[in-house]
Structure 1
Amino acid sequence: MHTLDNSTLDLEEEDPFWNAFTVIQLIQGILGIIGNIIIIITFMRVKKIRTITNIFILNLSITDFVTAVATIPLPAPNPVPDSLAGDVYCRVIGSNFFAWMAIKASILTMIAVTVERYSSIVSPLRHRGFSMRRAVVIIIFTWVVSIIVNAFSLTISRNVDGSCQEVWQGETFKKFMGTIIFLLTYLIPLTVMIIAYVTMFYVLRKQDRRFRRDGVLGKTNEYSYCRAKRNVAESLFLIVLVFTICWAPDQISFLAQNLAHFDYVNSVVYPYFILLAFCHPITDPIIYVYKNRQFRNAISMAFKRKYKVTVRSDVEQFVPNKNVALHSK
């Protein structure tokens, strides 16, 4: 856990770099808010798109929305008052509790939707155990776990001489917790998810070869359904891959800071890595819309015109006034 600088008053106003950094951070936050609120509103208005997979995607949009809001640069007390209010400020706001809570909820949600898609593609019989009620329970569970896990940040962020700093109980404990956080909240889950999607694509490729061998490519409902499942899997894989790439420099540098005498937070690369990390709330809605005609049609219907929706298995098809086959892009 490391503190994200989302304040403006403690930056040197005469430094053009820091001014540019603050502006870019503000733009990132606004774009993340706008993009994800469009997705959320679309889910609210187009009720029949609420499939099991899409409910998880909705929760991802909510986590991205919270992350974007939490990273908006705000004025901060300088120095932080030596009082109960100052201590609460450092523990909750200074530690960016809400941003890290949302990020952990995002990772857990990606794991959940990966398991759901893996079951649908690799173990379709087990997928029958997924229900809308179960999906909602899992989503609630991701938020509860994220709050509990992130409560650790409340114990190490303190008001030290008028500024919010991390206070660890010894170097050994710092190295241990830094390694555990890196492994459990970044490296292990994202590695497992990437392997799961590679397995899914392998299974889908085998199915595609079977369709080609049987000479029914593009001629059956089963083929269309498999193609739709592949498109959904590709979209989710892109989300996981972009998240991994965006956060890799920051997480590796944070691990290096905890394991060695490297002051990452005050280094030259820190602001660049933070800007890269918080690109993911912006990219996720773009991936939803770019990769899936379902979302493009849904947004159009939610904001522009009346619509009707037909449902085919667990894949939603949006049909403005006529039937149109679901496919990517």
Structure 2
Amino acid sequence: MAWLIYTSLELVIAVACCLGNVLVVWAVCLTRTFRQPTFCFVASLAVADFLVGSVAVPLAVLVDGWVEIPFQACLAVSCVVLVLTQASVLSLLAIAVDRYLRVSIPLRYKEIASEKRSWAAVVLCWLISCLLGFTPLFGWHNGHSLSSPVLNSSHINCTFLAVISLPYMVYFNYLGCILLPLAAMTLLYALVFYSLRKRLRREDETSAVGGSKLRAFLIKEKRLACSLALVLLLFAACWMPLHLMNCVLLSTGPQGVPQIAFYTGILLSHANSAVNPVFYAFRIAKIREAYLEIWRRYVLCWRRQRNVSSSLWRSQPGEQNAGHQTKLNPLGHESGN
């Protein structure tokens, strides 16, 4: 029963991830904001979240002990989840760096953060994510506890922790690849908010009129920075419980964490990818406006066309019958109903 509830929730999360993040990428492309570095990285984050729903969640259900496959195949499947998590982290880091550059060097920002360099940064993020996520394939795994013939030929009951080393998850993945970037992002956003607050205070003191263009620009930047910082906070809140449980498992063993708590942590980490598109709709005006434009231009238009087509289809049988009756009237008059 517990497995059925877990699998059902994973299915709901997977569908929400796919639909929501397709909508985010569509919104970014529709408004052509992909030319702006920040939304270029938001699109990269949305792609990672989409792949969580379409790839990582099905694989998470698969590697829950329900299949027996070779050790190396199970290891490769488990590493895919690590790659997508790392891509999300590095996309968030790229967003934080972009916000910092936007505020600290506004005059040179457009020159440095060009569209070409932004997409190069996205490619670099994904390449680094693959390198860090597939590190267990190069030897840092649990296969050393198995004999060589078993490792090379035998099938194992595939679970994530059966192949992925807990020391790797805690010391390398959590402390090095997640906690360190989160600390860097926290520092960057602190500097962004400090700089914006300082410049707003200076603008209020020097400007006689409170509605200057510079002040409006700074307020807009502060709102966007707040929204993106909250995305980071949401990511940390959803992923930290699972990584903290890994730390407990490493120190106390399997008995240290109840199974239901561990599965709750997995669901929470996956739910982060489904919540992000909803969060964008409430916090980021450009994406919210693009959602509404998609709704008006495509969904409502499609519904109107469907209703018109349905009305025409329903009216055709009556017209055909009327024509048939007229043809059969021997007096040459139009026949009634």
Which range, TM-score by smaller chain?
0.7 to 0.9
The percent identity for this pair of structures is 22
Stretch deviating more after TM superposition (247-256 or 147-156): 147-156
> Following superposition of structure 1 onto structure 2, how do residues 100-179 of structure 1 map, counting pairs within 5 Å?
100-125=82-107, 127=109, 128-154=111-137, 155=139, 156=141, 162-165=156-159, 166=161, 175=167, 178-179=170-171
> TM-score scaled by structure 1?
0.76
The 5-angstrom pairing of residues 45-124 of structure 1 reads: 45-48=30-33, 50-69=35-54, 70-72=56-58, 78-81=66-69, 86-93=70-77, 95=78, 97-124=79-106
Q: In structure 2, how many angstroms separate the alpha carbons of the residues matched to 1:178 and 1:219?
A: 50
Q: Which amino acid is 1:71 matched to? A: V
Helix, strand or coil for the counterpart of 2:112? coil
Larger displacement relative to structure 2 (251-260 or 269-278): 251-260
Give me the CA root mean square deviation. 2.8
Distance 1:28 1:174, change over 3 A: closer
* Aligned residue identity for 1:163: N
**1:147 counterpart letter in structure 2:** C
Identify the structure with the greater helix proportion. Answer: 2
Structure 2 CA distance for aligned equivalents of residues 188 and 35 of structure 1: 29
* Residue pairs, 1:279-294, within 5 angstroms: 279-294=271-286
Distance 1:51 1:21, change over 3 A: same
Match for 1:278 among 270, 273, 285?
Answer: 270
Assess if the C-alpha contact under 8 Å between 1:29 and 1:71 holds in 2.
Answer: yes
- Indicate conservation of the 8 Å contact 1:31/1:282, yes or no: yes
Larger Rg: 2
SS in 2 for 1:163: strand
Q: TM-score, normalised by structure 2?
A: 0.75
Letter in 2 for 1:18: W
Q: 1:151 to 1:263 in 2, by over 3 A?
A: farther
| 1:2-61 deviation digits (Å, cap 9, x = unpaired) | xxxxxxxxxxxxx2x222222112111111111111011122333255311110111010
Separation of aligned partners in 1, 2:142 and 2:74 = 6
Cα distance, 1:168–1:289 mapped onto 2, change above 3 Å:
closer
- Whether the 8 Å contact between 2:66 and 2:158 is mirrored in structure 1 is no
Distance 1:215 1:287, change over 3 A: same
Question: What count of residue pairs does the alignment treat as equivalent?
Answer: 282
Q: Are positions 1:191 and 2:175 aligned together?
A: no
Distance 2:248 2:229 in 1: 28
Displacement of 1:250: 0.6
Deviations 1:65-117 (A, max 9, x none): 11122213656784515xxxx34541233x1x322211101111111111111
Distance 2:253 2:71 in 1: 27
1:125 Cα deviation after fit: 4.8
Runs (5+) with no aligned partner, structure 1: 1-14, 307-329
